[in-house]
Amino acid sequence: MKYITSLQRNAHGRMELSDSGRDPRYHRRSVQAEDLGIAFALAAALRIARRRHPDYRFEIVDADVALEAGWALRGNEVKTKSDTRLRPDYFLFGFREGEAARVITVECKGSHGAADAQHKQLAKAAAQVNAVVIGDPEQGDVTPPGLMMSTSLDDTGGIQMRILDPPGDGTLALSGDGDDHEPGLNGDVQEYHEFPGIPVRDEEAELDRRPGFYIAPERSEWFARVLARTASAGLLAFAGDRDTAGGLLTPRQRVRLGGEHETGPNHVDFDVNFELAGLSLVGTDHVFRLNKQRIEVFSGKMPRVLHDLLSGEPDIKGTHDMLPDLSAQWRERREEIIAEWGGVILMDANGAVMGLRKMGDGHTPLG
């Protein structure tokens, strides 16, 4: 939210940095380029994925958190740090009832530089995206489709994005639809301590390994569950419920997430209940100053029905089944929701609700 005043619309109707966005007193340029580069890249990646697979619903999954379920990336458990250093930033996990799950690797870069800087970033991004292989290398190219994105925040030329989009087949098999005999997405996730490396053949046709992460065919369903659980944990953490989120993760993943009762600048409380247009929402809220003049309320929430499905014995598949109906309800009641909230509010395709309004406007939370 610290970048909310960093952008503006120019005379051509395009987005560019505002005066405060260019002012080094408010933003470190390297951090600004990285943070906004990630935001623009993920927005573009989601749009590309949805256009190509219109019947799928895609979730953003932090690659570091997901890969911790199979490989130790930091700490005393790390065996060979050099083999895990190159890795993508995110996965897009796509789900459609009755179809194979889809996965797309995404690497996000950002700079204030010219095209040459972006070209160098994309070259490194290619190595990072190529560090994940799903399937049998003996059967040919099994690198998932990847999106390499480099965003330039040019002070004079607006915002430019360069994208590399290599081909790939990123599907993950699921055994069933969530019943007792074929648990599908609702199956357990075991934590592994795999040795990093991707099988390859050298010039003498001898088996060798290159740095990276290899998901063998028999681990395809395991990885689909990891991605689904990690995405749901991200939704819960956004709403402030880190304890429930931790229940969806393996021990190493939970260390990255942190706990409900930790303190610090990123600490939030899961203690807000709202009802807007008959939809019950739970989550957290924050208070901050904007332009040093007024206090605003930012709220991270999710529908209570989704939280109920993810609490206790988590029903991951149930959340996926519920989301299309929730999205339809939100669209039907959108004008009423905005009027009751008293500001800007939206819900994304995965159930995350974000609202922004002046303090004191709209309805008061239930408690």
Does residue 281 share a domain with residue 182?
A: no
Q: Confirm whether 131 is domain-assigned.
A: yes
Does residue 189 share a domain with residue 284?
A: no
Does residue 224 share a domain with residue 339?
A: no
Q: Confirm whether 105 is domain-assigned.
A: yes
**Nearest of 249, 289, 323, 315 to residue 26 by alpha carbon:** 289
First to last CA, the chain: 24
Give phi and psi for 80, each to the nearest 5.
-140, 95
| Number of separate domains in the chain | 2
Last residue of a domain, one of 221, 242, 263: 242
Q: Are 314 and 248 in contact (CB under 8 A)?
A: yes
Does residue 142 share a domain with residue 227?
A: yes
- Domain holding 61, by residue range, is 7-242
What gap in Å lies between CA 341 and CA 353, rounded to an integer?
A: 12
Does residue 339 share a domain with residue 227?
A: no
Does residue 151 share a domain with residue 212?
A: yes
For residue 230, what pLDDT is reported?
A: 97
What gap in Å lies between CA 249 and CA 268, rounded to an integer?
A: 19
Q: Of the given ranges (61-75, 89-103, 127-141, 208-222), which has the lowest mean pLDDT?
A: 127-141
* Residue with more model confidence, 184 or 56: 56
Q: Confirm whether 134 is domain-assigned.
A: yes
User: pLDDT digit string (tens) for 304-347?
Assistant: 999 999 998 999 999 999 999 999 999 999 999 999 999 999 99
Q: Which residues pair with 216 in a beta bridge?
A: none
Q: Please, which pLDDT band fits residue 143 given cuts at 50, 70 and 90?
A: confident
Q: Confirm whether 264 is domain-assigned.
A: no
What gap in Å lies between CA 152 and CA 156, rounded to an integer?
A: 11
Q: Confirm whether 277 is domain-assigned.
A: yes
Q: Helices then strands (H, E): number in the chain?
A: 10, 17
Does residue 106 share a domain with residue 61?
A: yes
Task: Say which residues have a Cβ less than 8 Å from residue 164's Cβ, sequence separation at least 6.
Answer: 122, 125, 126, 146, 147, 148
Does residue 40 share a domain with residue 129?
A: yes
For residue 140, what pLDDT is reported?
A: 59
Does residue 199 share a domain with residue 151?
A: yes
Q: Are 117 and 175 in contact (CB under 8 A)?
A: no
67 exposure class (CB count in 10 Å sphere: 0-12, 13-18, 19+): buried
For residue 175, what pLDDT is reported?
A: 67
Does residue 213 share a domain with residue 168?
A: yes
Q: Confirm whether 42 is domain-assigned.
A: yes
Q: Confirm whether 312 is domain-assigned.
A: yes
Question: Residue 355 has which token pair?
Answer: 């609202």
User: pLDDT digit string (tens) for 8-64?
Assistant: 888 888 888 888 888 877 778 888 888 988 999 999 999 999 999 998 999 999 999
Single-letter amino acid, residue 190: Q
What gap in Å lies between CA 297 and CA 276, rounded to an integer?
A: 16
For residue 322, what pLDDT is reported?
A: 94
Question: Residue 239 has which token pair?
Answer: 């709403």
Does residue 234 share a domain with residue 301?
A: no
* Residue with more model confidence, 263 or 191: 191
Q: Quote the percentage of the chain above a pLDDT of 90.
A: 43
Q: Confirm whether 2 is domain-assigned.
A: no
Does residue 64 share a domain with residue 155?
A: yes
**Quick check: 81 pLDDT over 70?**
no
For residue 342, what pLDDT is reported?
A: 92
Task: Say which residues have a Cβ less than 8 Å from residue 32's Cβ, sequence separation at least 6.
Answer: 3, 6, 21, 153
